[in-house]
Structure 1
């Protein structure tokens, strides 16, 4: 039975796309606790443009490296498996993100071994357990924020994707994929940072210092600009993936799946 399922190309493709989708969502949550300077990473000076009373530079959460991929994968899955296919993977990813949150909380309260703390002292980390609590604790609030933002973003992505496709038909893949991603990323960028760095530290004492609202909004703007640029830059990748899927499934099978995904009779 399992051999038959794996040999069925549409099923195998769904497993491949779904696994990559879920893996990227979880990894984005884990690495998202780090805020990095895009300009300094590229070896240039920060922009330091005044926005909302703060000097704006591209200070981004590390999760932005992966979230554009997640939303593009959403559109590709949506194209061939429809809203039900995306909805199943979205709830699966959300459940695993919640599971990650629970495991983080459990790990935080474990009593550390003395030799483990001492080993990190040699690496100039005076209190490894405290650092562990702060980083994973802050990451937990990113997960809480991302969980809500992710589900809301997925709903907007799927809805806008289908609305655009009904208007344009099979043409303008770039418009429905990039357009729906830009809409969903707008919500995701603002909701997750607001919960993670504005609300979270005010609710829990081990989350580090809370950010000001102006700082949150400034970082949100930078994250959204970056995600938008990446979504546009990755447009050729979307076409490449579509072409690969068409060859893999065969044009007849791919056409039937796309019609079914749009709720049309086949």
Structure 2
């Protein structure tokens, strides 16, 4: 065996000091954590059906939080690319699946004789597995389309027209996400009539797209900061200059 192969196979033999791997920058892990956390919290909050304006507008308890997952997804896709976003989506998939299995196992565990919240627990987190299935189906389709459209648009426009990429990718991703999710989740939250289902889909799509537009100045600021803060982005930009207008 060559000496180089020996060193690579047993790096601990080269030094008696404690050695640790280095995290190049903290930004991507933080964004991934926020994305996964929002997805997990949203799946629990979405178990409650919500009727706003006297029940005229049908939505769920995650309506105010879930849209931020697309904002973070846009930032990751714009700065780190499709592969990084795919890794984030699959990580979220695994965490949501683990949560579903954990809730199911918790419900099935025998309760103490004096435990009085079994029915309440089942009524809340017992619905989560179906909502997780709805969320996973919706966000796998929606987030992948959102990231794919954004990256493809960026390949054509370079660093220009970020606003168009943010809106265009969100319209495509949110539409399919909302359609798939609501089709599966509507019976769980109580939207059983055709009218309430249509309201659920339309309200979800319009609201999520509106949030993207409302917070766009903040998205611009975060994207600009990360592009300056990530050393590898500046290096890639120098090697591949943005096309001139």
> TM-score scaled to structure 1, two decimals?
0.75
- CA drift at 1:259: 8.3
Separation of aligned partners in 1, 2:46 and 2:170: 19
Cα distance change, pair 13–210 in 1 and its aligned pair in 2 (3 A): closer
CA contact (8 A) 1:181 1:231 kept: yes
Structure 1: any 5+ residue segments left out of the alignment? 40-45, 49-56, 118-127, 202-207, 262-266
Which residue of 1 is the match for residue 9 of structure 2? Answer: none
Tell whether 2:161 aligns with 1:144: no
Equivalent of residue 31 in structure 2, options 17, 21, 34: 17
Cα distance change, pair 2–83 in 1 and its aligned pair in 2 (3 A): farther
Tell whether 2:25 aligns with 1:34: no
Equivalent of residue 254 in structure 1, options 228, 233, 244: 233
Separation of aligned partners in 1, 2:33 and 2:110: 34
Separation of aligned partners in 2, 1:259 and 1:28: 39
Structure 2: any 5+ residue segments left out of the alignment? 1-17, 241-245
Tell whether 2:239 aligns with 1:240: no
Root-mean-square deviation (CA, aligned residues, Å) is 2.5
Tell whether 2:192 aligns with 1:175: no
Give every structure 1 segment of 4 or more consecutive aligned residues whose post-TM-superposition deviation is greater than 3 Å. 1-4, 255-261
CA contact (8 A) 1:178 1:235 kept: no
Which residue of 2 is the match for residue 228 of structure 1? Answer: 209
**1:1-266 mapped onto 2 (5 Å cutoff):** 5-6=22-23, 8-9=24-25, 12-39=26-53, 46=54, 57-117=56-116, 128-198=117-187, 211-249=192-230, 253-257=232-236
- CA drift at 1:210: 7.2
Separation of aligned partners in 2, 1:209 and 1:32: 11
Which residue of 2 is the match for residue 120 of structure 1? Answer: none
Cα distance change, pair 98–237 in 1 and its aligned pair in 2 (3 A): same
Q: What does the per-residue CA deviation read over 1:43-85, in whole Å, with 9 as the maximum and x for residues that have no partner? A: xxx4x7xxxxxxxx33321222222211111111112221111
Separation of aligned partners in 2, 1:190 and 1:94: 19
